[in-house]
Structure formats: structure tokens, C-alpha cells
Amino acid sequence: MNVSSVFRPLGLAVALTTSIPVMAVTPASVSSDVIQRGWKPSVEFSGAGDSKHAVGKMREMAALQEVVFKNTEYHKETQEFIDELWSSLESFNLKKLYRMLPDENGAWRQLTVVGALDGELYHLGPVQPRADKNELAEGNVEKVNTVNRTGEIQALGDLVSNIRVKELSSDAGTSYLIQNNLQLGIGAFSWDAVLGSGEEVLRLAVEGDSRFGRTTKMPWAQDYRMKVQAMNLTLDEQDVEILAPLWAAFPESWNLLTKLGRVDDVVIEDDASGGYQHLVASFSLIPDLMDVNYPELASHLDGLNSLLKGVVEIEDGNGRLLRLTLDSRTLSGTIDAYVTQGRLLPVKNGKVVTNVAPVRLGDGREFSARVDSTMSILGVVTRMKGIETTIRYQPTEKGAVIQTSMTQVPEIYVEGAALGFMPTAIIDLFLPTNIDELMREFMTVAVKGNDGKGIVTRTEFSQLSVGELAKVNIAVSFEALNNFMVRIGMGIVSDRIIPDSDVSKDIQQLIYDTEEAFSKDLDGFEKVAVL
């Protein structure tokens, strides 16, 4: 796989920092307040409520995304190294990964890659020395370009990624402690704006617009009702009144969405007193639709079949706040939550708890996430129950810190028959340990290793003062067992999940098409913002 495919997620991450609340060229006939209503999350996020300011910020991000996706320049040795690095990760050859890392620091081996925008190019390469003042004064362009490649975040789009690995030995065998730290400059976005945008997204997800009801006399409202109904005839009236105004505000993005799949549901019920809504937002990818524009990607997704089925539940002391499901067989996902005034309400013992203050992300909280998953590969079915993760959220003067830790070994069950005819008990005869014991050993090292800290992450959003550059720092640390049987198993999984070069090209085309739709939508919104 070419290194450019590895760093596509970087561009996608940059895009998501502004585009999650953004979908959007809108016809002049659509009422301007419909457009403004739909874009409210984006305006809150990018411009703290100021439409004109938001447009300018989104233009900056759109320009960055275009350069990252189309004109990324890789340092030659860095490209060669990362291609090899990716190959070792695909085969889960951690020993090879460890030995490939070029820099030594005590027991650690490591690599630091930095990225920076340079005019019409985005550079990715090793850390370089900072230019001194005399060189800058003399106008040495090459030296000037290294200023943003010194391992410091100084501007929008600046990236610093450090991966380091340490080899360990124990009774379980050889394992590797892997740590990665990623820093990214994301623009002048405040954390309050991020929170406000999230609340507006929840409101739009559950609150419809009666002007798009079935009795509407407005031609443009009728037109978008028909578009929603053509996408999925099973949607009920409340769903149509939620989706139609969003489609009217963001038609280019929704036109692209219909080439990928369909929305299956949005809201299934309202509280009789009007106190909350039950959000059940579900979307299905449809390979037959995707095959027209992205045939390789469609084939890859279709081939996942029953690879993975998972459920994630997030709760606090008052009950469950959010339920996420994913099913690779149906290529569908669902978000299930109860919402009031842009905030989440807990559910306990099957009942919505209304006598507690709704969760406000501006408050420090501790949450827990439980994951149950089922994976089927070559007829062997592996079930893991009770993958528990603690989530600690704490606002700070500069932004917020979110930390997660996984320290409990889940229940693991293995059943089925390899290739449909060889029971797992027969396979166990030829292995040094049973399949379920092998997986349990791997998970035990992961959640009990790392000096007892298990699998940990830390995400920090920081901004020194309003209007200055905001930065995101993401740190991940975990210990992974490395032996022959683990490599075989992980290699089989990666063969099913990781896309090949042809699929990667389709993914890149989809990203490009998403950018184009966003750009056209932004043109449409800008006309309204100017007015």
C-alpha cells in the first residue's frame, strides 16, 4: 500500500474537525431561514454564531483539505519507511516494526513525522532543524520551509506524529509496548463552540420543520419531501419532516449520500408531555448503489459479510446515555439516545430518567463504555462480552481533556467450524493452546500490561486564548503480545478489513467527491450568509 493511503486519515481527521456538523449548494427558492437553521451547528462551531466569520474559517479548512488530498509531498526516505511500516502492521509483525524504527532512545525505538502546509503543497517528513534568524532574513526559502517542520504546532494543519516501541519479555512471551502521540493544529476554534455545535446537531436530529409536512403548499418543500421519500419509502412522517429541511439546506451532500446508501430511521417516538425525543438514527450502506461510482469499495464492503457485529453502550451513574450498534452483514449502524433541548437523558431499567439534570458536556464527568462484539472469520465465531472502558471528561481553562482506560479482561467464547466443516476443537489439536485461551492471553496482556495501566488514551483540546490557534493532542498507549499464532490470526483479520490499492483509490475518490460537494454547499450558504 502506498504511503499516501496511510495518511489519507490525516486529511479526513482535519476535515472532520470542521465538517462533522457541516453538510450542505442550496436553491435560491428555498427560504433563507431554512438554510440558516440547517447550518446553525456549522456556524456555531466555525464562527461562534457569526455566519460571515464561519464562512471564512470553513474556507480556510476547505483549502487545507484540498491541498492535503491532492498535493501532499513526502520526504523520500520517509515514504519508503512508512510503506514498510504499514506492511509490518498489516501482518502484525511487531518484531519487524520494532527493528525498523530508526531512532533509539534508551530501550525505546521511535520515529517522528511532521507535516506542514507550504503554499500549494503539504509536506510530510522527518523533523528538521529550526532556521536561525540570519537565514530567515536572507530569504533562504528551503530553510523557511523547515520552520513548521521542527516538531512544534504553529499553524493550521501542522502535524506532529511520534510512534515509539519497547520490547518486553514475560511468562506470556515477547510483547511490545506501543505508544503514539499525535498533535494537530486545527484553527481558531474554541471548546465552547465545539460543545455548542454538538447541542445544535442533537436538536436538528430530533426536531422537524412543519413547513415540510404533507399538507405543505410550497413547491420547494414538496420537492424535498419527495427526495426523502424516494430515498426510503418506509420513513414515517416525523422522519420526513426532520430530513427534508436538512436536505433543502445541504442538497449536494445529500445527493452524494444517496449514492452510498439510505437513512433507515431518525426518531421513533416523542414523550407525550413533549419533554424529550427518542433518537434512533440509523443508516445503511448499499453496495448496489455504491457500485456505480465506487465499485471496488462496494465489493470490499460486500465481502465483509458477517465479519463483525458490535454494540457499544455509554453510561454514567444515572443510566445509559447512548447506544451504538454496527453490523457488517447489513452494513448498517444505529445511534440510540433520548434527547431533550440538545442534551442527553439517561435510561435506567428501560425507563427514561427525567428527574436528573441532562448531561452537559461543559461539566466534568466520568462515564463507562461497554462493548459486546461478535466476529466471524472463515466460519470461526468469536464472541467477546463486557469490554469495559472508563471515560473521564474534564473541562480545563484552555479546553478539555478526555481520558480512557481499559483494564478488565472480557469474557471470550469461540465456536463454529473453520471453512464450514472443521470444528474449533479439531483445530485446537494442532495448536499449542486453544483458540479461546490464545485470545484470552492476548487480551490479558493488553488490558493488564503497560505497567498495569492497560489500554489508555488521552485526548486534549487546548486554545491559549480566544481567536488563537487551537490544538488537539491524542496519545495512545498499549501492550501487545507478539507470537506466531497471534500474527496468523491478526493477519487473517487484516486481510478482511484493510483495503487493497484498488479499494484505496475508490476511498480517495469518495473523499474527493465529498470535498467537492462540501465546496458547492459552502458556495450556496455563503450567499445567504452575506445577506
Q: Which of 120-129, 151-160, 240-249, 434-443 bottoms out in mean pLDDT, i.e. has the lowest? A: 434-443
Greatest Cα pair distance in the chain: 74
Average model confidence (pLDDT) across the chain: 82
Please give the helix or strand (H or E) that residue 252 lies within, else none.
helix 251-257
Q: pLDDT band for position 16 (50/70/90)?
A: very low
Domain with 221 in it: 1-189+208-258+484-531
Residue 274 falls inside a structural domain:
no
pLDDT at 214 over 70: yes
Residue 345 falls inside a structural domain:
no
What was the pLDDT predicted at 378? Answer: 58
Total count of domains within the chain: 1
- DSSP notation for 458-477: EEEEEESSTTSPEEEEEEEE
The model's pLDDT over 418-464, given as tens digits with 9 standing for 90+, comes to: 444 445 444 444 444 456 677 788 888 888 989 999 999 999 999 98
**Can you tell me which residue has the cell 453538510?**
23
Q: pLDDT band for position 298 (50/70/90)?
A: very high
Smallest CA-to-CA distance from 188 within 7, 61, 300 is with: 61
Residues 454 and 448 sit within 8 Å (Cβ to Cβ): yes
The model's pLDDT over 472-516, given as tens digits with 9 standing for 90+, comes to: 999 999 999 887 666 666 666 677 778 888 999 999 999 999 999
pLDDT at 13 over 60: no
Q: What is the mean pLDDT of residues 41-54?
A: 90
Under 8 Å CB-to-CB from 272, ≥6 apart: which residues?
A: none
Distance CA 291, CA 298 (A): 5
Q: What is the mean pLDDT of residues 242-271?
A: 92
**Can you tell me which residue has the cell 500500500?**
1
Neighbour-count burial for 177-203, b at 16+ CB within 10 Å, e otherwise: bbbbbbbbbbbbbbbbbbbbbbbbbbb
**CA angle centred on 469, ends 466 and 470, rounded to 5°:** 85
pLDDT at 244 over 90: yes
Say what percent of the chain tops pLDDT 70.
81
Better-scored residue on pLDDT, 4 or 470 = 470
Under 8 Å CB-to-CB from 59, ≥6 apart: which residues?
A: 522
Q: What is the mean pLDDT of residues 300-327?
A: 92
Distance CA 115, CA 68 (A): 10
Residues 204 and 246 sit within 8 Å (Cβ to Cβ): yes
Residue 392 falls inside a structural domain:
no
Better-scored residue on pLDDT, 281 or 172 = 281
Residue 229 falls inside a structural domain:
yes
What was the pLDDT predicted at 362? Answer: 64
Residue 426 falls inside a structural domain:
no
Query: Could you say which DSSP state residue 64 is in?
Result: H
Looking at the chain, the number of H-run helices and the number of E-run strands are 19, 21
What was the pLDDT predicted at 65? Answer: 87
Residue 369 falls inside a structural domain:
no
Residue 24 falls inside a structural domain:
yes
Residue 102 falls inside a structural domain:
yes
Smallest CA-to-CA distance from 193 within 11, 65, 53, 382 is with: 53
